[in-house]
Homo-oligomer: A and B are copies of this chain.
Amino acid sequence: MIIVQKFGGSSVANVKKIKNVARRIVSTKRKGYDVVVVVSAPGDTTDDLIELAGKISKIPSRREMDMLLSTGEQMSVALLAMAIHELGEDAVSMTGYQVGIITDDVHGSAKIEDIHSGRMLEELKKGKVVIVAGFQGKTPNHEITTLGRGGSDLTAVALASVLKAKVCEIYTDVDGVYTTDPRICKDARKLDEISYEEMMEMAALGAKVMQSRSVEVGKKYDIPILVRNSMNHTQGTLITKENKKMEKVLVSGVTINEDEAKVTLLKVPDKPGIAAKVFQKIAEKNINVDMIIQNKSTTNYNDISFTVMRSDLKRSLPVVREAANLVKARGIQVDDKIAKVSIVGVGMKSHSGVAAKMFSALAEKGINIDMISTSEIKISCVVDGRRGKDAVKVLHKKFELGKKSK
């Protein structure tokens, strides 16, 4: 039975931590499992290399960036293999290249197209722990690629799927997935279990523990993902298929995203195709739009509002102005002090009144709702940025997430 374990950069930031990780791997191995390990670059290595490249070139070639950045993980795997040898187990490190993690040629954010499991299975058969460099792959033309931020998680889940692993363990510096950010709500509770869908929504809505893309792969190939703390032995959170127990719970978590800004086009003439024109212009600049709200009023005019990452706001304004002219809007309004607060839960599918409960909870605390957006398993509200954390607290309490009720 194969277990895939992934350790992030902070888990291998120094010699002591590398030895600690090695002990954990060896203990899993000695329980009788075949272990495949995925590692990120040590500590701040990737950021340091990006900074160094920035001193040489303002816009470094993406191919050369991949060549540069992939060295970080290569260091980690070699050092970790040595640490495992010291503990008396056999181990072999492998680059993405050597495994045969085949990707497309979009340097910096490549997509995995195929993974050769042959060499890994061969080494496992010899009794070795296989240690794979995360975040990297190669094109069919032997070019080195990287998968983008969070890419090591993706490597781990993808390896787990081709190896038909029992579980993919993601080791990080927190105990698991929480009902909300523990820095905001002291009584935030670690979840024992969460569905792929909920996790994907939570990741997309601001929870930083795992990236949505990796969870999606886990869901597609039905690989249970266990998020755990590399520094202790608590059980962590299992991301898995939706089950009956989960459905009984109304809401699993509350998230907050304070990194967005709201843009409104005022008094846009109400004609077909207007929204398409606006968002096409914005898409051409590769700017991601998150929420979009359009209110048809009884007049012949609409207000169109949307949110973008605050970091994209500056470069999106010229194109928004262009779009506003194009559709003859009367003006533009920008609000960069918003917070998007969301509740997530598969239980919403079978329970009614969740939205009403959310809105009334916010109203009771005098928190005004600026925008609303819903999906099957989440409801998001944009509120005044100064009230964002209050909103999280009141929702966390209202839906009784702090209590050990689950």
Contacts and interface: CB of A to CB of B under 8 A. Distances in A.
Interface in A59-78: 60-61, 63-65, 67-68, 70-72, 74-75, 77-78
A104 B172 CA distance: 39
Contacts of A113: none
A277 interface: no
B82 A53 contact: yes
Interface in A78-128: 78-79, 81-83, 85-86, 92-93, 95, 97-98
A98 B97 CA distance: 10
A93 B67 contact: yes
A57 interface: yes
A18 to B, nearest CB: 6
Contact of A64 (B53, B63, B82, B98): B82
A67 B61 contact: no
B86 A56 contact: yes
A15 interface: yes
A52 interface: yes
Given A57-B85, A57-B86, A142-B98, A78 B93 contact: no
B78 A57 contact: no
A15 B53 CA distance: 9
B82 A60 contact: yes
A223 to B, nearest CB: 27
Given A18-B56, A56-B15, A56-B18, A79 B83 contact: no
B77 A56 contact: no
Interface string A9-29: 000000100110000000000
Contacts of A18: 56
Contact size class for A? 35 or more
Chain A interface mostly: helix
Contacts of A77: 67
A49 interface: yes
A78 B97 contact: no
A315 interface: no
Given A71-B74, A74-B67, A77-B67, A56 B98 contact: no
A145 to B, nearest CB: 13
Interface in A271-304: none
Given A15-B56, A74-B74, A98-B142, 5 more contacts: A53-B79, A56-B79, A63-B92, A71-B75, A95-B144
Interface of A: 15, 18-19, 49, 52-53, 55-57, 60-61, 63-65, 67-68, 70-72, 74-75, 77-79, 81-83, 85-86, 92-93, 95, 97-98, 142-144
In the complex, the 10 A-B pairs of residues with the closest C-beta atoms, listed nearest first:
A68-B78, A71-B71, A67-B78, A57-B82, A64-B78, A15-B55, A60-B82, A64-B81, A56-B82, A71-B74
